[in-house]
Structure 1
Amino acid sequence: MSDTPTPAAPPAFDELAEAIRNRRSVYGHISGLRMDRFAPGEAWSTLPYRPVFVGDSETGVIHGGVVTAMLDESCGMAVQLALDGSRAIATLDLRIDYQKPATPGLDIKAHAVCFRVTRSIAFVRATAYQEEESEPVATATACFMVGANRTNMLTDRPAFGGAPPPLEAPEDPTGPFATSPFARCLGIRLAENDTLVMPFSHRIIGNPVLPAIHGGMTGAFLETAAIITVMRELGASAPPKPIGLTINYLRSGRALDSIASASIVKQGRRVVAFEARAWQDDATKPHATAFGHFMLRQAPGQEQD
């Protein structure tokens, strides 16, 4: 008679979904993102509106990084719902296409579908919307690594319960982010040589076991760096409108401050192409890079798109 222990049976699907609902990223809990419905490889979620999510207080529009982080987290839920829930996953790349600005004051919803899983890679697509899924705020496609590290979501990650803690944006009326509560909430600041710094903090953690920075937070940081660069180099008084952003995750963002820089790749009359990179203790070893496009805001009297 063998003394080899019998492997534990995988949890029933409803139990798996409940574990995923309560054992997600730190930022996912703090942001208030909740999973409303689920099916194998499929998740429906809602991010309640909070004033701190605003990217431009003059228009009230939500920061693109908030949408990026929501879609990244929602895609991760769908991947876990396609697996047994125990294997750690990590975002490899994420492409966001912004269809229209989110209406200020309304919650944002997301529907994510993991449509294919191989032994080591999961492929996902998602839609962010407010009232009807047929009228998206943004769409996303992503690839995730399966078995990215040795942590087990079902046993290693703490469970989160109750209402999310408050998110605050310190006032800074004369700073570069005076009209961007979300950038101030993340503590982003200007540094030397036209770089930006995002200090490490509990609120931006993705995997609390490593710990590692949430991929959506890195995406928000890269987008913010690009916005500041475009405004500075073009002398713009208002932030440009994001069109699309592709983020490549090269390694985990560790529990360290992150530094980012951006540059304009090509400038047209209405559209600017940019690239950005983020690193921590070695500028030659970025942990993420991004490429994307902004629509420039037209001055009064100029032709509008």
Structure 2
Amino acid sequence: MSAIPTTLPFEELAEAIKGRRSDYGHIIGLQLDRFAPREAWSSLPYRPVFVGDTETGVLHGGVVTAMLDESCGMAVQLALDGTSAIATLDLRIDYQKPATPGLDIKAHSVCYRTTRSIAFVRSTAYQESEDDPVATATACFMIGANRTNMLADRRMDLRSIPTLEAPDDPDGPFANSPFARALGIRVNDDGTLTMPFSPQIVGNPILPAIHGGMTGAFLETTAIFGVRRELGIAALPKPIGLTINYLRSGRALDTFANVSIVKQGRRIVAFEARAWQDDADKPIATAFGHFMLRPTPGRDEE
């Protein structure tokens, strides 16, 4: 394989980013539509497999989280010269409103500052207008995170990348969540959840490493499931905000997670979730966030 230049001219850098996204980014069809130095405009076509609740048709919050993570990464790469690997250090998502079923999601990400080692990014996810966001995000990325370079080390073989499908499981805990089923998430006897490793959740295919957005989606799913079970509620809680801290690379292994309620109010629940692989004392990521509890049918609001 012939080597590409160590430092890419900007137009070539943008084209490399378009063609060499993460495996997960290719699977879901995320597109880099427009670009400028330090800025990325991306889009994600609506697909039924992205739904988090079939009763409402609303997308799973993890779909938005993963899109914003990848879109932020694009903006960081567009602020650099194509020679460095990057990795998400932390990602904060503030959910403004549910995404409208059937509409594509777009994102505008800006890498507003870089140092020798860290890049800082802001992003907005929206559907019809950036002034009416679905979610907003801030993130920090490590520059030179490892020795790989997805823009140079290997070419993407699209034929080897699987599709994202949600197998039917009408009696399972995620019967109404196609996206959770697509990730293969299952509930264990001890109350923890497992996300089995599969090629469809890969971010960096050279290591390989799990996509940070997939880890975030798994933590959010764990939190939703655990809070509902702990509180004995039927209605899905509404995500308000989620902060994910990435502590270690997610390797090509099954990932486990649990959640604990930090504080419970009448309408708001604060939670903390942890994800690990072969050692529960060495988490690969943690998440802290808030859910709004939906009113119980038949009960008057105070």
Same fold (TM over 0.5): yes
- Please give the secondary structure, in 1, of the residue aligned with 2:181: helix
Query: How many equivalent residue pairs?
Result: 298
Output the amino acid matched with 1:61: V
- Structure 2: runs of 5 or more not aligned: none
1:299 Cα shift?
1.4
Asked whether the 8 Å contact 2:237–2:293 carries over to 1, the reply is: yes
Aligned to 1:196: 193
**Aligned counterparts of 2:54 and 2:6: Cα–Cα separation in 1:** 51
Distance 1:9 1:54, change over 3 A: closer
Output the amino acid matched with 1:158: R
- Please give the secondary structure, in 2, of the residue aligned with 1:193: coil
Asked whether the 8 Å contact 2:7–2:83 carries over to 1, the reply is: no
- Please give the secondary structure, in 2, of the residue aligned with 1:192: coil
Instruction: Give me the TM-score of the superposition, normalised by structure 1.
Output: 0.95
Match for residue 235 of structure 2 among 235, 238, 251: 238
1:10 Cα shift?
2.4
Alignment of 1:6-85 (within 5 A): 8=5, 10-85=7-82
**Aligned counterparts of 1:41 and 1:185: Cα–Cα separation in 2:** 33
Deviations 1:189-248 (A, max 9, x none): 001321000000000000000000000000000000000111101111121110000000
1:11 Cα shift?
2.2
Distance 1:204 1:8, change over 3 A: closer
Asked whether the 8 Å contact 1:265–1:273 carries over to 2, the reply is: yes
Question: Are 1:115 and 2:109 matched, yes or no?
Answer: no
**Aligned counterparts of 1:152 and 1:68: Cα–Cα separation in 2:** 23
Aligned to 1:260: 257
Asked whether the 8 Å contact 2:9–2:81 carries over to 1, the reply is: no
Percent identity of the aligned residues? 77
What root-mean-square deviation, in Å, do the aligned CA atoms of Structure 1 and Structure 2 show?
1.6
- Structure 1: runs of 5 or more not aligned: 1-6
Asked whether the 8 Å contact 2:150–2:206 carries over to 1, the reply is: no
**Aligned counterparts of 1:133 and 1:33: Cα–Cα separation in 2:** 18
- Please give the secondary structure, in 2, of the residue aligned with 1:59: coil
Distance 1:210 1:298, change over 3 A: same
Aligned to 2:183: 186
- Please give the secondary structure, in 2, of the residue aligned with 1:194: coil
Output the amino acid matched with 1:109: K
Deviations 1:94-152 (A, max 9, x none): 00000000000000000000000000000000000000000000000000000000012
1:166 Cα shift?
3.5
Match for residue 94 of structure 2 among 64, 88, 97: 97
**Aligned counterparts of 1:254 and 1:28: Cα–Cα separation in 2:** 18
